[in-house]
Structures are given as structure tokens and as C-alpha cells.
Amino acid sequence: MTDALNCLMLPGDGIGPEIIESAETVLQSLISIYELPVQISHGVIGLKALAQTGTTMPPDVEQCMRAADMIVLGPLDTMAYVPDEGGINVSAFCRTELGMFANLRPCVSLNSSALKSMDLLIVREASEGFYADRNMYRGLGEMQLTEDVAISVRKITRQQSERIARIAFEAARERRSHVTAVHKANNFRITDGLFLEAVRAVATEFPDVILSDQLVDSMAALLVRQPEVFDVILTTNLFGDILSDLASELSGSLGIGGGLLAGTHQCAAQAQHGSALDIAGTGRANPLSILRSLALMLEWISINRGIDQCKHASIVLETAIRTLVVDRLILTPDLGGTASCQEVTSAILSSLSELRETSE
């Protein structure tokens, strides 16, 4: 009997508690149907933790995160976090301190609510780039020289660029064997130049995969014009964040784009969207993005820990989600329906039971 893997639930801010409750209910169901060797634990982070303990990431939660095999991470209202006043970005902590450098964001259009037809995967480097809270050894990569002058620093390393490129090429091998590297090397000749050089070096290890490249501005236009031609889009941190929101919304809704943060030892399911404060507490939050992230997490665990049941559970969950969206059965308002987060969760649970019965 395999030792149980620990899955830590961290609800976060805004719509976080609603969608993480949905994710926990669905994971519990999968654990019992497929006898997954997974044990669920809980932690409080974000603004609730700040009010209770003075920090958005209390030390005991940090310890649990370090020890967890996988994390289901809710969205964070980081705009409200003040670094000097306990505002620690938990997502950035995962990406830097816990080594989850790869952010995988599939964007697949499933039904007529999609503005564009696509089936692509954005592979985004998540641990460096233009993000001020993760690109320095000490201090922040952003500073104000005078009242009217501010500067940001962008960090690109050969090592991280090669690592993320390998993830993209390996993913392309399992898909349609085409990687498009997105950059702005005409202006950022040194930083994006280094990124491109590293990607081209890695490409020589994958002669069966085609490599093309695009400037990030033309990529934004092409995603609107003909997203169906892209397979794997490989890019740096900030570009990946922006392009994935664009692609995800074009594919149907930000509320259905799953995301995974992956490292060498741990991974975290993290929805593509943010804390969506405008709909928090209204029941309108679409749980499908975090549920698809859960499916990606189970797939990663199956590959990295060799647990076949997790692969099976991942496929069945993704099938249940696709069926719900394709058949336009029970959908939240962002997808044109009237259902609540809880009603969508119940529909997924029923579908999981039905899929189990048909496979028996």
C-alpha cells in the first residue's frame, strides 16, 4: 500500500473559499471512487490569515506547504497585500522557495460560448522575469528613484529558460509537436535574446518538434485572428500571464482555464483567474477552472509518483467537465447559464458517479 500523499487546501481571497470548497468536495469524491492514496489537509492564508495572525502566510502554514506533496491554491488579492505589513504573496513563494517554476495553462474551446476555436497549451516560466517579488536575491526588483521616477528590473537566466523550454518541448511531443517561443527580442535584445538562445539550444535535443517564434505583440493579434494554429506557446513570466488570460477568455471564459504550477518535487493546482472580488460571495463563481487545475494536478502526480489511479481520476474529471460544458447543461453566468458554483459542483459529482457506473 502506497503511503498517502498529502494534499493541502489553501482557500485564499475573494472567490477562493467558494471554488476551493468545490475542489475539495470533488477531490474527496475521486479519492473514494478511485481509492486514491491522498489525504487532505487545510491551511488558512490570505487576508483572513492576515486578520488572525498578522501575515498572509503564517509560519505553520509555510511548514505545511513545504511538507505537502500537492497544494490546491486559491486566488490571492495581492493588490491588498502590503509587503512590510505581513503581505506575503503565497503564489510567489510556491514559485521561488518551493521551486514550482513551470506554469502550465491549457486553453481549449469547448462549446459555442467560445469566441475562437483553439486547443493550445501555454508554458510560462513562473519564477523570474519582471515580477518584483521574485527576481532578486534580497530586496525587491522595483524601486523609486525620486517622487516622479520608478524602475523595474527583469531577470532572465539561461538555466531557467532552458528548464522551462524542456517542459514545453516534452509537452509538444505528447501533442502536435510544435512550439512557438514568444518574446520581444527586438527591444529586449539582451534578456529576451538570452531566453531565445536558450530555447534554440534546447530545441536541438528535440529534432522531432518544430520551433517557431513570435514577437509578443504580434502573438496577441494572432491569438485573436487564428488561435487554432498554435500548439505549445512557450514564454517568459509576464507575457505568459497576459497571453493566457487572453487565450482563456477567447476559448470561452477565464472561469474554465485550468492551471498547474509544477516543480521537481511538488505541484499546485491554481486556477488561471484571480480573486474576482466583483463576484465574491454571490455564488456566481465558476468552479471549473480550479476543477480542471485539479485534473492537471492528478495527472502530474500520476506521472511523477507513478500512481495510475490518479491518471484515471484525472481523465474522468476532465471528461465530466467537458461533457458539462459541451452539452451546455448546468453552467455559471460567465458561460451564459444561471447555475451557482454549488450547482455546478453537484452536477460534476453526479457525472463522476455516472462515469464510474458506465466504466464498471
For the annotated catalytic residues, the residue numbers are: 131, 184, 217, 241, 245
What part of residues 241-260 is at the interface with ligand ATP (CB under 6 A)?
A: 254-255
Q: Is the dihedral of CA 113, 117, 123, 124 positive or negative?
A: negative
10, 168, 276, 301: which one contacts ligand ATP (CB under 6 A)?
276
Cβ pair 104, 262 in contact under 8 A: yes
- Chain centroid to Cα 45, Å, comes to 18
Residue nearest to ligand ATP (CB): 274
The answer to whether residue 278 forms part of the interface with ligand ATP (CB under 6 A) is yes
39 pairs with which residues across the strands? 6
Comparison of 108 and 254: residue with beta carbon closer to ligand ATP: 254
The residue whose grid cell reads 517568459 is 236
CA distance 19 to 17: 6
Task: Quote the radius of gyration of the chain (alpha carbons, Å).
Answer: 20
The region of 121-129, 131-139, 192-200, 279-287 touching ligand ATP under the rule CB under 6 A is 279-287
Distance between the two ends of the chain, CA-based, in angstroms? 23
What count of Cα atoms within 13 Å lies in the side-chain half-sphere of residue 74?
Answer: 34
The answer to whether residue 79 forms part of the interface with ligand ATP (CB under 6 A) is yes
The answer to whether residue 286 forms part of the interface with ligand ATP (CB under 6 A) is yes
What part of residues 293-352 is at the interface with ligand ATP (CB under 6 A)?
A: 332, 334
Q: Which three cell numbers stand for residue 218?
A: 504580434
- Chain centroid to Cα 178, Å, comes to 21
Comparison of 33 and 80: residue with beta carbon closer to ligand ATP: 80
The region of 182-190, 223-231, 273-281, 313-321 touching ligand ATP under the rule CB under 6 A is 273-281
CA distance 127 to 222: 26
The region of 75-83, 177-185, 312-320, 343-351 touching ligand ATP under the rule CB under 6 A is 75-83
Count of residues binding ligand ATP (CB under 6 A)? 18
The answer to whether residue 274 forms part of the interface with ligand ATP (CB under 6 A) is yes
36, 273, 331, 348: which one contacts ligand ATP (CB under 6 A)?
273
Q: How far is the CB of 334 from ligand ATP (least distance, A)?
A: 4
Comparison of 81 and 169: residue with beta carbon closer to ligand ATP: 81
- Chain centroid to Cα 78, Å, comes to 16
How far lies 77's CA from each of 14, 238, 245, in Å?
Answer: 7, 18, 17
Comparison of 124 and 273: residue with beta carbon closer to ligand ATP: 273
Q: Which three cell numbers stand for residue 348?
A: 460534476
Enclosing H/E stretch for 201? helix 191-203
The region of 54-62, 126-134, 278-286, 318-326 touching ligand ATP under the rule CB under 6 A is 278-286
- Chain centroid to Cα 131, Å, comes to 16
Question: Which spans of this chain sit near ligand ATP (rule: CB under 6 A)?
Answer: 15, 75, 77, 79, 254-255, 273-279, 285-286, 289, 332, 334
